[in-house]
Amino acid sequence: MKRRDFLTKGTLAAGLARSPGLLKPLLASETSPAKSSQTPPQTAKASEEIRSHEFPRRAQGDKFLPKAPAFAESYLSPEVRISPMPLAERLRRGVVPRRGFCSKIPGTTVSEGLTSGNGHMNIEVTCDPYSEQILFHHESLLMPWKRPFEAAKVADIFPQVRQMVMDGRYQEAIEFAFREMDKGPVKVNTWPHPTVPAFMMHLDSPKTASVKDYLRTVDFETSEVKVYWTDEHGNWMRETFASRPDNVVVQLLTAAQGQQIKARIAVEKPAARMRMFGGAGGTSEVQQDYTADRLIYKCRLDPSVDNSGYAGVVRVVRNGGSARMDGDTLVVEDASSVILLTRIEWFAEYSEGKVEALRQAVEQLSPDYDAILERHRKVQSEAFNRVTVDFGGASQYGLSTEELLANQRSRPDYSPALLEKIFQMGRYWFIYTSGKYPTMVAEVNANINLQIAPGPQGDLREGMDAYFNWMESLAPDFRVNAKNIFGMRGTHYSLWPDKGVGVAFHYSTAASTGEIWPHPYWLTAGGWCCRPFWDHYLTTGDVDFLRNRVVPALKELALFYEDFLTVTGKDGNYIFVPSFSPENNPANTSPSAMLVINATMDITVCREVLTNLIAACELLGTDADSVAKWKAMLAKMPPYLMEPDGTLKEWAWPPLKERYSHRHISHLYGAWPGDEIDPDRTPQLALAAMLADRKRVPERLAAHGRCHRALVGARLKDCYMVDTELRQLIEQGYVAATLRCSHDPWAFPMPDAQGGIPTIMMEMLLYSRPGIIEVLPALPPTLVVRSRECWPVPSLGSTN
């Protein structure tokens, strides 16, 4: 089949033609052969037309068949008709970054925007030619909590709650506990405070009826986001990036040849819906101090709580032309180019003096786009290129993410370029969200762990250092959690840690389903949060890190377990009571009865904490008395249980029945991210875990569930599970054309899979533990049996 035929038939069938204007430019690329030295891109071959000539005509001859589908009138007559840049033109101009991607449709909202960032600040850019929206973020803009603020003081009822659970009165126990917790200042269904966007910038310019050669790109090695288009006045381009060395977002607006910039620039308060978890937080106080040379956006986050706030200074540097204010909008006219330099700073104690100092600092910056970019490129590319992948994606150079995703959905194997770009985007995202704080959104039990997951193996050391600092900074709150909720020593980590907040504040119910999530009693967040500390030691061999940062954290967890593990069964083994397996309940209890006994995950994580602590102390030659005590504790761990068919049970407590219909696989922690289950050391347990992984039927389509199942599959050498879940993740709406991932298919960005998918790729290619390196443990079959032309020689490599 000729490529033109494939495009007209295959792309429609594959859902590539998402909007009316898409197909035509693609075809145009075929009628305008590329004059480029680039390797011609390859797409998957569509199946040949093997129906007889007459058959389709006969099949379509029934006059009562449905009419051909049509686009809504609003789609056919947009305000500006945008046609993508054809592939041949992309190649001719060389505008697609080698390590980066292009997209041929602008976003309509910032959630569909391309991204750049420097750790402290990041931006989402829709890349609309005439009505640009740029949402600015700063990592520290957490809506403040009222202090003092600590976990509910319910330690006095813990023995009663424990006894009720032991008696099988599961629902009654948690309802009683929640009533007691709710008597204090931290109420039931207290949600996290949002980290709010700083401000929205609108860049509007005079529109034309149609635009052609539209393209937007991201360069992972420079952090640049660019948008290209051509209208009746010529070829236009805007470019922007966030610099790490200069701590500034730089935007460059360049006029088409012989044309001038005419732009209206507005900096405004973002819409409330742009808060990811918008239920909590107060009312901000905003001031706008705008002149024709700079726009200063000032905000006190919640003056009723404290004096924290921030300011964003946008410095405007014109090349020629004029500028004036029209109300709160800056109007630039007849400039040949404009540079906007933006810096945002958060202040624990807001003051006008600090804002003025910020303004002066921005004023000192040299408005040299290329110089600032070059300083940033060195830092960015070094971190980004520490680990690279090559699946043969050069063969698809130039294809947009929309085309690559469509290609992926219509081929039996993997699009090599798409795999590479998703891996790269994970690194890019990890780097640009790592500043004072690491990347973090949502909960430990499903989200944060995956977001952090690629760090140790991926040598993303700056972000991991931010993670370690953040976790350690919350230890005082974790100690209070242990004391207030359990009356115990040591630390008890919270479900939902945040910037400066380690309080276990979240305990929630859902009236619609009857679910009660007993998160304050979840024992295992601490061990899970400390796992990356251990992995950092294993990947670096940094004994000082082990001594000074791993061991102290594990010791505090061990101290908690010493106090908690006071109930034993007739067999002399500990009973973990109460115990919670996120976020599931046994099949023979109600959804309100999640707080039960001997969650497998609780046993696994306790074993891991003690095992690693013992290993560390023996290596360091310290704490001999405690080591003996911890070994005695390990000897009293209850055994894992199996179902009659050999499936690993989620609760090692015989009366509790399995409920397979759930998105989490908490009981498989021992395979991943833990490391005590594998076919060599624990074959029977590995088989039980594999059955449990295979039998899971996610009742919701959460990305974290798919990632976790794939990662457990990789550890169990289950290439089929890896293949199944990886394909679902990259084909079924978890990865957008922006290469940003979502928690639910086709939903707003949420980065579970952003970290999860690169981790899957690393784990399927290489497994390691002390003394072991295993190559290709779970290579998906279609990466093994590859088409020769698309898969020259896949490789994974890293540079030193």
Partner 1 sequence: MLARTFARINKLRWDMEARIVELTVTSVKKQDITLIARYGIEEITAPAGVLAAQLKPGTVNCDLHLPEGKAVRLHLKLGAHKPIGWVAQVAQA
Q: Measured from the CB of residue 202, what is the shortest distance to partner 1 in angstroms?
A: 42
Q: Tokens at residue 298, please? A: 């000032």
Footprint of partner 1 on this chain (CB under 8 A)?
387, 456-459, 535, 538-541, 675, 679, 683-684, 686-687, 690, 717-720, 762, 765-779, 783-786, 788, 793-798, 800
Residue whose pair of structure tokens reads 């007559």 in the numeric block: 77
Residue with Cβ nearer partner 1 (106 or 794) = 794
Residue with Cβ nearer partner 1 (492 or 696) = 696
Tell me the C-alpha distance between 103 and 233, whole Å.
23
Residue with Cβ nearer partner 1 (180 or 465) = 465
Tell me the C-alpha distance between 19 and 34, whole Å.
25
Q: Measured from the CB of residue 539, what is the shortest distance to partner 1 in angstroms?
A: 4
Tell me the C-alpha distance between 253 and 275, whole Å.
29
Q: Measured from the CB of residue 637, what is the shortest distance to partner 1 in angstroms?
A: 23
Q: Measured from the CB of residue 775, what is the shortest distance to partner 1 in angstroms?
A: 5
Residue with Cβ nearer partner 1 (361 or 538) = 538
Residue 694: count other Cβ atoms within 10 Å of its Cβ.
17
Which 8-state DSSP code applies to residue 191? P
Q: Measured from the CB of residue 714, what is the shortest distance to partner 1 in angstroms?
A: 10
Give residue 721's Cα distance to chain centre.
22
Residue with Cβ nearer partner 1 (327 or 541) = 541
Query: Is the preceding omega at residue 583 within 30 degrees of 0, hence cis?
Result: yes
Residue with Cβ nearer partner 1 (423 or 653) = 423
What phi, psi does 20 have (nearest 5°)?
Answer: -60, -30
State which amino acid sits at residue 469: N
Q: Measured from the CB of residue 457, what is the shortest distance to partner 1 in angstroms?
A: 5
State which amino acid sits at residue 771: G
Alpha-helical segments (H) within 32-144? 54-59, 73-76, 87-93
Residue with Cβ nearer partner 1 (76 or 785) = 785
Q: Measured from the CB of residue 391, what is the shortest distance to partner 1 in angstroms?
A: 11
Asked if 472 and 447 count as a contact pair (C-beta separation under 8 A), the reply is no
Residue with Cβ nearer partner 1 (12 or 785) = 785
The alpha carbon dihedral of 455, 457, 459, 465 has a sign of positive
Residue with Cβ nearer partner 1 (427 or 663) = 427
Q: Measured from the CB of residue 689, what is the shortest distance to partner 1 in angstroms?
A: 11
Residue 47 neighbours by CB under 8 Å, 6+ apart? 1
Tell me the C-alpha distance between 480 and 731, whole Å.
44
Whole-Å CA distances, 42 to 56, 417, 535: 29, 10, 39
Q: Measured from the CB of residue 770, what is the shortest distance to partner 1 in angstroms?
A: 5
Residue with Cβ nearer partner 1 (620 or 772) = 772
Whole-Å CA distances, 359 to 242, 316, 356, 599, 745: 18, 12, 5, 55, 42
Q: Measured from the CB of residue 454, what is the shortest distance to partner 1 in angstroms?
A: 9
Q: Measured from the CB of residue 546, what is the shortest distance to partner 1 in angstroms?
A: 11
Tell me the C-alpha distance between 636 and 626, whole Å.
16
Residue with Cβ nearer partner 1 (537 or 574) = 537
Q: Measured from the CB of residue 789, what is the shortest distance to partner 1 in angstroms?
A: 13
Q: Tokens at residue 68, please? A: 């051909």
Residue 52 neighbours by CB under 8 Å, 6+ apart? none
Residue 187: strand, helix, or coil: coil
Tell me the C-alpha distance between 518 and 653, whole Å.
18
Residue with Cβ nearer partner 1 (41 or 780) = 780
Q: Measured from the CB of residue 735, what is the shortest distance to partner 1 in angstroms?
A: 21
Residue with Cβ nearer partner 1 (735 or 778) = 778
Tell me the C-alpha distance between 98 and 424, whole Å.
11
Asked if 175 and 51 count as a contact pair (C-beta separation under 8 A), the reply is no
DSSP characters over 590-618: -TT---BS-BHHHHHHHHHHHHHHHHHHH
Q: Measured from the CB of residue 773, what is the shortest distance to partner 1 in angstroms?
A: 5
Asked if 446 and 709 count as a contact pair (C-beta separation under 8 A), the reply is no
Q: Measured from the CB of residue 778, what is the shortest distance to partner 1 in angstroms?
A: 7
Q: Is 53 exposed, middle or buried (0-12, 13-18, 19+ CB in 10 A)?
A: exposed
Q: Measured from the CB of residue 458, what is the shortest distance to partner 1 in angstroms?
A: 6
Give me Rg for the CA atoms of the chain: 28
Asked if 437 and 776 count as a contact pair (C-beta separation under 8 A), the reply is no
Tell me the C-alpha distance between 216 and 534, whole Å.
40
Residue with Cβ nearer partner 1 (217 or 754) = 754
Q: Measured from the CB of residue 709, what is the shortest distance to partner 1 in angstroms?
A: 15
Residue with Cβ nearer partner 1 (129 or 438) = 438
Tell me the C-alpha distance between 756 and 691, whole Å.
22
Residue with Cβ nearer partner 1 (309 or 454) = 454
Partner residues linked to 82 by β-bridges? 211
Beta strands in 157-254 (DSSP E): 199-204, 210-219, 225-231, 234-243, 248-254
Q: Tokens at residue 696, please? A: 């899971």
Residue with Cβ nearer partner 1 (7 or 765) = 765
Q: Tokens at residue 23, please? A: 């197909």
Q: Measured from the CB of residue 615, what is the shortest distance to partner 1 in angstroms?
A: 13
Closest CA to 612 of 559, 673, 681, 535: 535
Residue with Cβ nearer partner 1 (275 or 461) = 461
Query: 551: number of CA atoms within 13 Å, CB side?
Result: 19
Tell me the C-alpha distance between 497 and 533, whole Å.
16
